[in-house]
Amino acid sequence: MNSTSLVFLIVVYLVGAIPFGLIVARFAGAGDIRTQGSGNIGATNVLRVAGRKAGALALFLDMTKGALAAAVAMLWFGQDSWQAAAAVVVAFFGHLYPVYLKFKGGKGVAVALGGLLVWTPWPGLLMILTWLGMARLVRISSLSALSAFVIGPVATFWIPAPPLAPLAHGVIALLIFWRHRANIQRLLQGTEPRIGKKNSATELP
């Protein structure tokens, strides 16, 4: 790894770590969302605590973090480069473990989808359609996200994608499942709240 790639990935991490949900909620007058709702810094909790406009803005900004990391990496290094794959994963990792919040971040769905949609457009689009379709069908946010990230790695084997796409998709999927382990336990118990339920602990990002 040369110095240019290292500096680039450090910057990607620092941008990915920006807690937009926390910032948007504060500007919306909702205070610190880490002490409200589910305590998560993601857009679902922003929606719950600060309202639809704030939630939509937080979701957009989180997706943009991943999308921007992928776009810049592709422009500088090429779509098939290891730097492009690393940029998507590092931006996602920054959201999960942000240095600004003592490494306590969100669940990464929005950031990952934004990055994967730009870097691997067709698998990324299929993931988003799966996410939205499942959300409409079952009305459970966590199950919708988990379904999308099962589809993603599989899709990279039969839809044109960069050589490192299966690895990057797989790493992200594993981390998504790890961050949703409490949700998975509730799903198995049949106690996972549905979308729109006020006390829902599931998070989009």
- Domain locations in the chain as residue ranges: 3-189
Measured in whole angstroms, the distance separating CA 124 from the mean position of its chain's CA atoms is 12
pLDDT (mean) for 92-112: 94
Residue 16's pLDDT band (cuts 50, 70, 90): very high
From residue 97, alpha-carbon distances to 108, 148, 171 in Å are 10, 22, 15
Residue 102 reports pLDDT greater than 70: yes
Residue 196's pLDDT band (cuts 50, 70, 90): low
Integer Cα distance of 67 and 33 in angstroms: 25
Contacts 24+ apart (CB under 8 A), 143-146: 143/187, 143/192, 145/107, 145/109, 145/176, 145/180, 145/204, 146/176, 146/177, 146/180, 146/183, 146/184
Residue 32 reports pLDDT greater than 50: yes
pLDDT (mean) for 129-141: 90
Site of tokens 């940029």: 87
